[in-house]
């Protein structure tokens, strides 16, 4: 499990006074401010964050060290990370996407199908993108209790019962 979890990203400048457009990946979007200071992906830089107001598709925010529109444009695309211990504990049947990525996926007979490359959501529910040497193409497995009855983070594995014809 990663020590840092991506909780948001800078989408560009907002106005000319150094505010940024902020996308929050938190379940309750405005809670991203509670995890401040945030860091970059490798943890080498820290950023204090203050939301100034909601805007379309996110928030306008102030980030420490960003004073001008040019400064804000320079950090466009910056992904913001919080330390894992700052985030709330989840119930046993919920998982952070970062915890699922990299897990090995086995079928109910114990055969290795592949590993989880990413978790995607196109509106209906989460899909696990699975890659493996025995798979002809990428497989998108629905992340439902029926298709994925067991997730064992301590063993680093998922037991899947894919729908007929998927694999």
Summarised one tens digit per residue, pLDDT across range 47-68 is 999 999 999 989 999 999 999 9
How far apart CA 54 and CA 102 sit, in angstroms, is 34
Summarised one tens digit per residue, pLDDT across range 62-121 is 999 999 999 999 999 999 999 988 888 888 888 888 889 999 999 999 989 999 999 998
How far apart CA 137 and CA 121 sit, in angstroms, is 19
How far apart CA 36 and CA 29 sit, in angstroms, is 13
In order of start, what are the domains of the chain with their CATH numbers? Answer: 4-86 (2.40.30.60), 97-160 (2.30.30.240)
């Amino acid at each position: 499990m990663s020590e840092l979890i991506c909780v948001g990203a800078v989408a560009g400048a907002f106005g000319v006074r150094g505010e940024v457009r902020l996308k929050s990946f938190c379940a309750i979007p405005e809670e991203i401010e509670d995890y401040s200071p945030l860091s970059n992906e490798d943890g080498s830089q820290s950023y204090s964050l203050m939301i100034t107001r909601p805007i379309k598709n996110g928030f306008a925010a102030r980030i420490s060290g960003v004073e001008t529109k040019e400064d804000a444009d320079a950090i466009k695309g910056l992904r913001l990370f919080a330390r894992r211990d700052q985030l709330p504990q989840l119930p046993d049947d919920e998982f952070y996407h970062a915890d699922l990525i990299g897990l090995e996926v086995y079928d109910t007979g114990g055969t290795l199908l592949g590993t989880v490359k990413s978790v995607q959501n196109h509106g209906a529910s989460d899909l696990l993108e699975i890659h493996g040497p025995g798979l002809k193409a990428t497989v998108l497995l629905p992340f439902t209790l029926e298709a994925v009855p067991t997730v064992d983070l301590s063993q680093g594995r998922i037991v899947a019962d894919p729908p007929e014809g998927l694999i």
